[in-house]
């Protein structure tokens, strides 16, 4: 919230597992820059406490009975002066949804003092800047992908285009394709301001990945990338051409190539 920059942080921890709640509270009490720590064993209790405790940050578990952490974070985000949200969970697969509701950070249990310190640093920067948490995070700059029981992160800069497949998208990179559970409309919301454009109902394309535009056998437009061709619908063709011209005028293709090591 908007306390003075020199004041310590007021923190609320929400977790339905008592040992995990106690451990997180203890870690926060020992952390520099934290002046008060309150605890809630469920989301509804947290909602009742927030008007009187006015926390600067809420450290939230995700999997809780009744109202889960993502639902609580969504409600807190509607406040006039919302607290920063830090998720603390044992499950990596919720990262996309967590950043989608404006989380400042996403901690995996067990949390080390060093990792907690980094999260508190982000909370301090958000509070001191007077900005909402969602504005402080480069949302989905890396996307978690499940592979054989393990989670790896695919950098947004490596994604040439995304292809909708129901409630999933397939991210196409030079190192292969990766299926992620997120609707293409939501991915577009996060990426449209950083060089990606919707070119078809089923495709989101990196402007910097386009090497040329060509026609298919039926006269339709294709955007050629180094990992394949992407169909461009008539309604999106003009916008894509304008974005390509703008990127070329700004010299952004060369800088994009250097970033990707080409």
The mean pLDDT value for 13-30 works out to 96
pLDDT of residue 260: 43
CATH code of the domain in which 185 resides: 2.40.50.1020
Give the count of beta carbons closer than 10 Å to the beta carbon of residue 56. Answer: 22
Are residues 120 and 235 both part of a single domain?
no
Burial of 195 (0-12, 13-18, 19+ CB in 10 A): middle
Rg, Å, the chain Cα set: 21
Quick check: is 3 in a domain? no
Are residues 129 and 232 both part of a single domain?
no
Per residue in 244-259, pLDDT (tens digit) is 988 887 776 644 443 4
pTM to 2 decimals? Answer: 0.51
Per residue in 50-62, pLDDT (tens digit) is 988 999 999 999 8
pLDDT of residue 228: 95
Structural domain boundaries, residue 208:
147-259
Number of domains in the chain: 2
Are residues 186 and 102 both part of a single domain?
no
Cα-flanking dihedrals φ and ψ of residue 70, to 5°?
A: -65, -40
CA distance 193 to 243: 12
The mean pLDDT value for 122-138 works out to 62
pLDDT at 133 over 50: no
pLDDT of residue 140: 67
Are residues 88 and 186 both part of a single domain?
no
- Decide which of 136, 157, 174 is a domain's last residue: 136
Burial of 254 (0-12, 13-18, 19+ CB in 10 A): exposed
Give the count of beta carbons closer than 10 Å to the beta carbon of residue 153. Answer: 12
What is the pLDDT of the chain when averaged over all its residues?
83
Are residues 116 and 170 both part of a single domain?
no
């Amino acid at each position: 919230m908007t306390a003075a920059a020199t004041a310590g942080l007021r923190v609320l921890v929400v977790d339905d597992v008592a040992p995990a709640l106690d451990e997180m509270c203890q870690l926060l009490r020992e952390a520099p820059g934290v002046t008060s720590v309150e605890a809630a064993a469920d989301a509804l209790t947290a909602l009742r406490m927030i008007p009187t405790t006015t926390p600067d940050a809420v450290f939230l578990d995700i999997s809780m009975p009744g109202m889960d952490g993502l639902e609580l974070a969504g409600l807190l985000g509607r406040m006039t002066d919302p607290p920063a949200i830090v998720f603390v969970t044992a499950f990596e697969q919720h990262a996309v949804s967590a950043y989608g509701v404006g989380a400042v950070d996403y901690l995996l249990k067990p949390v080390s003092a060093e990792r907690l310190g980094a999260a508190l640093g982000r909370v301090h920067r958000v509070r001191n800047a007077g900005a909402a948490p969602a504005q402080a995070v480069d949302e989905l700059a890396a996307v978690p992908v499940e592979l054989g029981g393990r989670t790896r992160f695919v950098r947004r800069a490596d994604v040439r285009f995304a292809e909708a497949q129901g409630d999933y998208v397939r991210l196409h990179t030079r190192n292969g394709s990766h299926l992620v559970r997120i609707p293409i409309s939501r991915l577009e919301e996060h990426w449209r301001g950083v060089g990606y454009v919707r070119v078809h109902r089923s495709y989101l394309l990196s402007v910097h990945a386009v090497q040329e535009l060509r026609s298919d056998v039926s006269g339709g437009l294709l955007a050629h990338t180094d990992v394949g061709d992407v169909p461009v619908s008539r309604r999106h063709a003009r916008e894509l051409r304008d974005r390509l011209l703008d990127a070329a005028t700004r010299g952004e293709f060369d800088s994009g190539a250097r970033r990707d090591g080409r």
